[in-house]
Amino acid sequence: MSAPGDDEVTVTRVQPYQARKAYRCPGCQQEIPAGTGHVVAVPVAAADADLRRHWHHGCWEHRARRRPGRR
The nearest distance, CB 54 to Zn ion, in angstroms, is 9
CA 69 to CA 62: how far, in whole Å?
Answer: 15
The nearest distance, CB 49 to Zn ion, in angstroms, is 21
CA 42 to CA 21: how far, in whole Å?
Answer: 17
User: Which residue, 43 or 53, has its beta carbon nearer to Zn ion?
Assistant: 53
User: Which residue, 28 or 34, has its beta carbon nearer to Zn ion?
Assistant: 28
The nearest distance, CB 24 to Zn ion, in angstroms, is 9
CA 58 to CA 71: how far, in whole Å?
Answer: 24
> Which residues here bind Zn ion, judged by CB under 5 A?
25, 27-28, 56, 59
Which letter does DSSP use for residue 3 in this model? P
